[in-house]
A and B are shown apart, each in its own frame.
Chain A
Amino acid sequence: MSAPKTVLEVSGLVKHFPIRGGLLQRQVGAVRAVDGVGFSIARGETLGLVGESGCGKSTIGKTVLKLIEPTAGKIVLGGQDITTLKPGAMWPHRKRIQTIFQDPYSSMNPRLPAGTIVGEPLENFGIAQGRERDERVAQLFQRVGLRPDAMRKYAHEFSGGQRQRLGIAKALSVSPDVIVADEPVSALDVSVQAQVLNLLIDLQEELGLAYLFISHDLAVMRHISHRIAVMYLGRIVEITDKRTLFSTPLHPYTEALLSAATAPDPKRRGKRKAIVQGDVPSPAKPPPGCHFHTRCPYATAECKVVSPALREVAPGHHVACHLR
């Protein structure tokens, strides 16, 4: 059996946003949104990025899409280093990495019919035009569970779940290898969320897509991911396959996240524990040492000074904690 083919590889990724102040708007600090992150995704695989607001998970998504430029690090897409490519040089590679958003409506021109919106990338990349384009769009509509006659409708005429289907159809139109999905089901009701998650899994199995799936919802993560990376204040604190993550979480933050989550089962009541107290510190002023030490119940003197490296503690299971 051949090794799974890596389609996206990120190493040492850093993204700092400058904070400017004073009369001359000099840089007076930086929001360390992403602070040295590495991972890889294979064909047909879903890597989940989970973490709370401000942990940098969406910034990673935007950076690998090259919608924002990384401060440091390396992004390799299908064997090609795209880290420093200028927009023009990046253009042909954009076909290989596409995105779906939490709110697809905000990215759709309200004056264009849905068929035109979904077909735009086909024209932009010179893949298909005219009648051929329309045929392809009709196929895409069918593939994502929309009736082809809906091509004439406008974005506002679709429900939230249908708009997400349109977003998926548009992303699929250029046959990408990787899709960055940033909270794609967070705005949807559970009954519709189930439809979209099922569709994403079907498409992955059929087309071998790789997903970088960004979400704060652990239950959704457990459902769709193969491997999960847990982020805290710009760093990955733990990364492993999902079964191991849920059965033997090693990082105290992962443990805190899992124990804080609610479950739809009243018999489990009282088992949920708020292990950590307080709030996430600001990424503009992350604490020294391990970023989590201010909320960690096990923190030692070392944790307050020395930042723990991400170490492999079992095959494929990496943890950044001095105590594990």
Chain B
Amino acid sequence: MSAATLLEVRDLHTQFNTLDGVVRAVDGVSFDLARGETLGIVGESGCGKSVTALSILRLIPPETGRIASGSIHFEGHDLATLPEDEMKRLRGHRISMIFQEPMTSLNPVLTVGTQIAENVVRHLGVSWKAARERAFEMLDLVRIADARRRLDEYPHQLSGGMRQRVMIAMALSCDPQVLIADEPTTALDVTIQAQILDLMLELKEKTGTAIVLITHDLGVVAETAERVVVMYAGRKVEEAPVMALFERPLHPYTRGLMAAIPRLDVDAESGGRRPRLQEIPGLVPRLTQPIVGCAFASRCGLATDRCRAEAPPVVDAGGGHTVACWEARV
């Protein structure tokens, strides 16, 4: 692990037991996160991006799921096997998280000041008075107007955008090294989303916290991430610096995704007719069956017999750009 690497995920497999069988939600994913970096993980529903995040945080419900194999190295620990009481000391302190719907992550019967202070008392061992002062500083930092008064308000008294600001304040209250943000702006209106994205980037500059940003939205990734991991059916299919990924996507799935989104920034209309969007035919494979070959083969226009029989290895295309595809021209 190089000095710049903060978090190292290797060959992560996370599985769930369901009535239909074992779901291989994450099926051998590896990536690194450097200090102070913003890494985007992008993919569609069920690709395993959120389960990857929950695995790093060790929030996989033990009744149904487990990290089956692989390692997650962070600050000298392997989070995949770390005992729960040690994990509790890291979570919310060295590694923090924000989720899509802040209302479900906030306690409705505690004031936001108490909730932020609670985290500070627990992890930094300071007095309640000092923790409350820290909570005020954090609310002020995430630019909640009239922060002193807001400390004594309950989550339901805040708007959706403000609740997400409170979540960010809480997540950053103990100066974490890593912030995992799972669809942090998906539930917000566009004007509020713009405010929250700007805030996250600004705070990252200020605090040096590395961010793992999990999203389905290529627009959000393009505007915030430095490096991007593209996931499909539990596997990493491509990884690249953000410019390289958008300028020269190599995996047929990444290319398909980019061609499928309607564009706001390009006037694609020709002669008054609305152009057709490129479709990706078919459906994501079921994750209850082991996938033989490339997971995308059944939907891919370039697929050959080899693609259907043998899983493609991750190939280096240079400049930190890697792709798992037999047919990609690297």
A223 at the interface (CB under 8 A from B): yes
Closest to A197 in B: B277
- Given A190-B44, A264-B263, A266-B242, A198–B276 Cβ distance below 8 Å? yes
- CB within 8 Å of B: which of A247-264? 256-264
Query: What residues of B have a CB within 8 angstroms of the CB of A189 in the complex?
Result: 44-45, 216
Question: Known contacts A268-B265, A279-B162; is A190 also within 8 Å of B195 by CB?
Answer: no
* B147–chain A nearest beta-carbon distance, Å: 15
Enumerate chain B residues within 8 angstroms of A191, measured Cβ to Cβ: 44, 256-257, 260, 279-280
Q: Which of B254-268 contact A (CB under 8 A)?
A: 256-258, 260-265, 267-268
Closest-by-CB residue of A relative to B299 is A191
Q: Complex Cα distance A319/B45, Å?
A: 39
Interface stretch of the complex, out of A62-70, A101-109, A113-121, A270-278: A270-278
B3 at the interface (CB under 8 A from A): no
Task: Give complex CA distance A190, B256 in Å.
Answer: 10
Check: B146 CB closer than 8 A to any chain A CB.
no
Q: Is the interface of A mostly helix, strand, loop or mixed?
A: helix
Report the tally of A-B residue pairs with Cβ distances under 8 A: 129
**Does B130 sit at the interface, judged by CB under 8 A?**
no
Is A261 within 8 A of B190, CB to CB? yes
A82 interface contact, C-beta 8 A: no
- Set A224, A273, A280: member contacting B189, Cβ < 8 A: A280
- Report if B191 contacts A (CB, 8 A): yes
B219 to chain A, nearest CB (A): 3
Q: Which of A216, A262, A276, A277 contacts B223 (CB 8 A)?
A: A262
Known: A257-B190, A257-B191. A262 touches B260 (CB 8 A): no
Q: Please name the residue on chain B nearest to A199 by beta carbon.
A: B279
Is B190 within 8 A of A218, CB to CB?
A: yes
Q: Is B261 within 8 A of A219, CB to CB?
A: yes
Within 8 A of A (CB), among B173-218: 189-195, 197-198, 216-218
Nearest A residue to B253 via CB reads: A191
Inter-chain contact A261/B161, CB cutoff 8 Å: no
Is A266 within 8 A of B222, CB to CB?
A: yes
Q: Give A252 Cβ to nearest chain B Cβ, in Å.
A: 12
Given contacts A190-B261, A246-B267, contact A276 B219 (CB under 8 A): no
Q: Pick the contact of B277 from A52, A159, A194 — CB < 8 Å? A: A194
Q: A5 at the A/B interface (Cβ < 8 Å)?
A: no
Give Cα distance in the complex from A272 to B260, angstroms.
22
Choose among A224, A268, A276 the residue that contacts B274 (Cβ–Cβ < 8 A). A224
Q: Could you say which residues of chain B place their CB within 8 Å of the CB of A53?
A: 189
At the interface, yes or no: A317 with Cβ under 8 Å from chain B? no
Q: CA A149 – CA B159 in complex, angstroms? A: 48
Asked whether B20 is an interface residue with its Cβ less than 8 Å from the other chain, the reply is no
Whether A243 sits at the interface, judged by CB under 8 Å, is yes
Cβ of A222 and Cβ of B264 under 8 Å apart?
Answer: yes
Could you give, for residues 135-149 of chain A, a 1 whenever the CB lies within 8 Å of some chain B CB and a 0 otherwise?
000000000000000
Closest CB of chain B to A83's CB: distance in Å? 31
Contact present for B277 and A216 (CB under 8 Å): no
Minimum CB–CB distance from A300 to chain B (whole Å) comes to 21
Report the Cα distance A14→B241, complex, angstroms.
Answer: 51
Across the interface, which residues of B come within 8 angstroms of A111, CB to CB?
none
Q: Is the CB of B263 within 8 A of A263?
A: yes
Interface contact A276-B262, CB-CB below 8 Å = no
State in angstroms the CA–CA spacing of A257 and B191 once bound together: 6
B185 to chain A, nearest CB (A): 9
Q: Which of A212-231 contact B (CB under 8 A)?
A: 216, 218-220, 222-224
Docked Cα-Cα span, A243 to B269, in Å, equals 9
Nearest chain B residue, comparing its CB with the CB of A198: B276
Please tell me if the beta carbons of B219 and A262 are within 8 angstroms of each other in the complex.
Answer: yes
Q: Is B246 an interface residue (CB 8 A)?
A: yes
Asked if A307 lies at the interface with its beta carbon under 8 angstroms from chain B, I say: no
* Shortest beta-carbon distance from B268 to chain A in Å: 8
Residue B81 lies at the interface, judged by CB distance under 8 Å to chain A:
no
A193 contacts the other chain (CB 8 A): yes
Contacts of B268 in A (CB 8 A): 223
Are B222 and A276 neighbours in the complex by a CB distance under 8 Å?
no
Given contacts A159-B283, A191-B44, A191-B256, contact A262 B197 (CB under 8 A): yes
Bound Cα distance A246, B277 (Å): 19
Q: Is B243 an interface residue (CB 8 A)?
A: yes
A161–B282 alpha-carbon span in the complex (Å)? 10
10 A-B contact pairs sorted by A residue (CB < 8 Å) = A52-B190, A219-B262, A219-B263, A257-B190, A259-B194, A263-B219, A266-B246, A269-B222, A272-B197, A274-B195
Using a CB–CB cutoff of 8 Å, the interface residues on chain B facing chain A are 44-45, 159-162, 189-195, 197-198, 216-223, 242-243, 246, 256-258, 260-265, 267-269, 274, 276-280, 283
Assuming A190-B218, A262-B217, what are 5 further A-B pairs, CB within 8 angstroms? A161-B283, A222-B262, A224-B262, A276-B191, A279-B161
